[in-house]
Each structure stands twice: as structure tokens, then as C-alpha cells.
Structure 1
Amino acid sequence: MEAVKTAVQTAVKTSVKKGVSASKQPKICLIFATRGRAELLGKALAFVDMQTVKPDLIIVSCVTDEDVGNLASRPGLLVIKGRPGLTAQRNHALNHVPDGFDVLIFLDDDFLMHRTWTAAVLEAFDSDPSIACVTGMTLADGINGPGYSFEEGQKILAETNDIPQTMIAASTGGPYGCNMAFRVRSVAGLRFDERLVLYGWQEDRDFGGQIWNRGDRVVRINTALGVHLGAKGGRMSGRRLGYSQVINPLYLAKKKTMPLRDALDHVLRNVFSNITRSVAPESWVDRRGRLNGNLIGVWDFLRGRLTPERAEKL
């Protein structure tokens, strides 16, 4: 534990040398949970470097040395290794955030930030002390299609000049996990639910629901922009994802971190989509695998089994 503490102190001191003042408020810690995508992570970090307001510390939560490659020696970066799984890796990072930080940012390793993303988020927090969670707007989201190449995402950002002059903070049921920020004091004691295994699936909604249940605001703002590449490498199998599409929302409804109406909407939309598109599936989606997982999930639900961790065994 002493070695970890020393590593954290070294990373923070190095970031100060880079021009980020440790005495400036608020202090920002940015977290990536990644596995098997070191090259993509490096490209995402390049956009962090272009921020008008830079984080004081970056934590990369991974599983093996290969997950970060030569990025491990990057100044201002703390690399920690632990169990695989998005929720487990994010919690591992939360356990290593030093005292004295004010804002936590979670980014996917395939999210490219507009250079004013962090500044826009801080403006939102400054505007209303009841705002505990902020998520931004995606200019393009490859998760809904075959995905964008890095070059395509870079071009979209480069051509984005029309940033809204007036920030609008709209309350939302939950943040979008690829780009979300939290006040540290508002998430004290909270953790991501590790029963939501593998890629998580609705883990962001669950975490936001925990904040909402505390009476704090969860908002989406129109001024924190970025591109989610939706990279397909490292995703879970269609069968596992299909199971999670059914079980996870219903599990969250039981936990009361997602309204039952929203959970049913998630389930019905995904099952309907997998049924209709299984006839002529997209090349980048395992529709039949997802549908198979959907059916297993429905059968488990009818038997009274809300076991999101079962997805890991399918």
C-alpha cells in the first residue's frame, strides 16, 4: 500500500511540473478503465492533453501491462492493475483517488474530448451546487453503428466550431458512461455495482441512480462535446450482451436506481430490435447471439432470477 501511495504522490507532483497547479481549485482526477486497447488509449489521452483545463492526475485502471504499453512511463499518469470488468476496474480506480480532489471524470478509452470539455463541465458545477453529476453531448456516437475510426472522430472534432454560447443543464435519468464527471463529495461512499459484470451495461445509469436517490442532480449539458468512436474491439459476445440487455435493467429497477417504466422500455426496445434485425443482421452486430441471450434473460426473469453476473458464464 505504501508503494501505491508513493506512486500517487509521484504522479501528482509530475503533473504539477507539467504546468497544472496542485493548489488551484478544483482539483481534477480523470479515470480510464481499459483492457487490450493501449493504442486507442494513447489517442484518447492526446485529446486530454489538448484540454484548456487539464486534470491534475490521470488514473488508468487496467488488467495487464500490455493494456497500457509504453504509456506506463507517461508523466502525470498512475497505472493500477486489478481484476477485469468495467465496474471492478472503475471501483479499483476510485479506491486510489488521493484525498483533496474535487472532481472525478470517467472517460471511455474511445472517447475523444473537444478541447473545452473539462472547462464546460466545471462551469456546470459552478452554476448550481446541487449538480452532482454532469455528462456531455456526443457529436457522433459509433456505438449505434459500425463505429468511427480515429481519423473520422478527429475530423469531426476538428470541424466543430459552433459551440453553444449558453449552457443548458437538463436533468436526466443517468449519465452516459463514455463521458461523465462527478463532484467527489457527492459520490462519497458510492461504488459501481460489480454484479454488473464484463462491460457493465447500464452501470452508468445505476451509479447515477444512486446519486439521484441522495437528492442530488444528474444533468446533461450541451457545451461539453466529444466523439464516441464506439470501437468494437474488446466488446462482450452477443449472447452475453443480450442477456445483460434484459436482466440488468430489471435488476436496477429492483434496486430502485432505475424506474420500472424505463427498465421495461430498455428491455422491450432491445428485444424488438434483435428480433427484427436478426433476419438480416448488421455485419458488426451479433444479432442472433443477442436474441439468444435475450431469451435466456427472459426465462431467468420469469423464474425469479435476477442474476446479472450470470452473463460472465454464458
Structure 2
Amino acid sequence: MIIVVIATVGRPRNVEDCLRLLAAQSRRPDLVLVSATSDGDLPEPGGAVLARLPYDARLVIGPKGLTRQRNRALDVLERSCPGYDGFVAFFDDDFVPREDWLENAAAEFAARPACVGLTGVLVADGASGPGYDLAQAADMLGCGRGMLRRSDERARCGPARALYGCNMALRGAALRSVRFDEALPLYGWLEDEDVSGQLRKLGELFRSDGLVGVHLGTKSGRVPSANYGYSQIANPIYLVRKGTYPASSAARLMARNLAANLLKTPFPEPYVDRASRLRGNMRALADLARGRLHPGGAAELR
């Protein structure tokens, strides 16, 4: 059984594109759960678009927050399909998979019984730049206007230190003891590192060249920059204390982000509010010094 979970807020066009791309998969999902905050997050009210899809798709509604929304979808899955097998793929609503992503993921899990988590290869990641549109993603994946083209090359698959949250698949059996940490609010930054840390206790993680896609990096619906800046400090420290993220990796990541925000604030990229990110960084460091740093502080920041 192949399940896909899409958590979304305020990006109905992305949801529409994502659902259409899943219909074009060489191995269609058995079930898609769209975890949203209201039916206004879909391209049509009342979830009418879901009824026209060539696979089972359901809308799950509840409070905002990536980790909450993903957990809510998993709770619905366990109630509606108790004892399900196979795997659950978590796609961002702005991720464009090549048309054989799910098929290749199924093959990798079947070939590797010890594998509890898979992640793929990004041709491009718009999250670290101005972003891409769907046409650009299609060109980068080597396709025209129709269905994304399958690769004839034999995929390489090797160990992965961690999964990347915009496109990752978790074995269903592992999800019976793993959940996303709801202490990571809003965008849930580094939730993939935390889940990877939990999964490593249960089995092995792999990265496959057969799981190919483009992360558009859509800028609408993003967390405000100051809140994100707070998370850049609070979340790594929280996960180190929790034991799911290496301290050395956290130190490098925080230093890199702090330096980038500090050095680029005078001349920022047009798509990044560096000054607000830096303000969030400073607020988090102040909370750390006062002994009250926690990821939830990002949601409280004004």
C-alpha cells in the first residue's frame, strides 16, 4: 500500500498541481491525505477536486503547523486503515516528483528489508533561491507538457545520514512508533532531522538516485522571517538536547545561518528578509542566555 501525505496552508494552486502530478505517477498512490487548515486550502471549496482524482484522496482539517498536520494525517490513516503495510511518502505541496518516484520507492523498500526511510535526489531546490515554477521544473526533469518521463538508468541507492522533508518515504511499520515532534511549531524547521534521528534507532536510511524531483520553493504561505530566524537557533538546540540531531551539525548550521543573516542584511537577496531573520536569531540567543529558549518561542514572536 502506498500512501502520500501532503500538508498545506494557503497554497491551493500548489495543491492542485501536486494532486495532478500524483495522478501521472507510473505507480499511483492507493491513498492521498491532504492535511489542511480548511477547505479553502484546496483549489475548490468542499473538496470537490478530490472526488475527480483517479485514486482515493481525502481531506484532513485541523490546526496549522507542519508537524501537527502530518501527525493528524497519520492518525486518520491508522483509524481508517489499521495494520496498513507499505510506506507513506511525505511531499511538500511544492515538490514536483518525476513520474516514477513512487514506483521506484516501492522497489527500494522491497529490496531492502532493513530500510525504514528513503529520500531522493533534487535536480533543483528553490528553497535556497528565488524559486521555480512548474514549467521550469518540467524542463529540468527533462519532460515536455505531458507526463514526467521515466528514467531507463539503473538507480543507485546508498546510506543517508538524514531524510529531506520535502520528499521522503517512511516504512509503514516504523510509523507505528515514530511521530513528528509537535514542539516544533509553524514550518516545523528540522522536523526531518528529528524524524531521521528517531528512525535510525529502528533501521537504516537510504538515498536513492531513482527518486528524482524538483522542490519549487514557493514563497507564498511561508513563515514570517523573524519567526523563521528564531527557529534557526531554537530548533537545532532543542533537537541536540533531545538526542536526535548531532551537536556538531547543529553548531555548523547555526553558525552558517547567523553569519549569512548578519553579513547579508545590508545587501539582502530580493526574496529573503535578512534583517527580520537576524532579529529572530538575536531574540533566540537572548532567550538562550536567559535559560528560556524553546522552539515554541517562534510562534510567540511578533
Could you state the TM-score of these two structures normalised by the residue count of structure 1? 0.88
Quick one: distance in 2 between partners of 1:164 and 1:199?
Answer: 36
- Counterparts of 1:273-292 in structure 2, within 5 Å, are 273-292=260-279
Matched residue count: 287
The runs of 5 or more residues in structure 1 that have no matched partner are: 1-26
Residue 205 of structure 1 corresponds to 193
Residue 178 of structure 2 corresponds to 190
| Cα distance change on mapping 1:268 and 1:94 into 2, 3 Å | same
Q: Is the 8 A contact 1:176 1:204 kept in 2?
A: yes
Residue 43 of structure 1 corresponds to 17
- Counterparts of 1:84-233 in structure 2, within 5 Å, are 84-97=64-77, 98-99=81-82, 100-159=84-143, 163=151, 165-214=153-202, 216-233=203-220
Deviation of residue 36 (structure 1)? 0.9
Deviation of residue 150 (structure 1)? 1.8
Q: Which moved more, 1:98-107 or 1:112-121?
A: 98-107
Per-residue displacement from partner, 1:91-112 (whole Å, max 9, x unpaired)?
A: 0000011222321011000001
Q: Is the 8 A contact 2:187 2:223 kept in 1?
A: yes
Tell me the SS of whatever aligns to 2:200.
helix
Residue 239 of structure 2 corresponds to 252
Q: Which moved more, 1:249-258 or 1:100-109?
A: 100-109
Residue 80 of structure 1 corresponds to 60
Could you state the TM-score of these two structures normalised by the residue count of structure 2? 0.91
Q: Is the 8 A contact 1:175 1:204 kept in 2?
A: yes
CA RMSD of aligned residues (A): 1.6
Tell me the SS of whatever aligns to 1:274.
helix
Quick one: distance in 1 between partners of 2:51 and 2:151?
Answer: 35
Residue 293 of structure 2 corresponds to 306
Deviation of residue 87 (structure 1)? 0.5
Quick one: distance in 1 between partners of 2:239 and 2:152?
Answer: 34
Deviation of residue 296 (structure 1)? 1.1
Q: Is the 8 A contact 1:173 1:205 kept in 2?
A: no
Residue 293 of structure 1 corresponds to 280
Per-residue displacement from partner, 1:144-176 (whole Å, max 9, x unpaired)?
A: 111001221122223487947333223223211
Quick one: distance in 2 between partners of 1:179 and 1:56?
Answer: 18
Matched, 1:67 2:17: no
Aligned partner of 1:121: which letter?
Answer: A
| Cα distance change on mapping 1:81 and 1:162 into 2, 3 Å | closer
Deviation of residue 46 (structure 1)? 1.4
Residue 15 of structure 1 corresponds to none
Quick one: distance in 2 between partners of 1:168 and 1:109?
Answer: 26
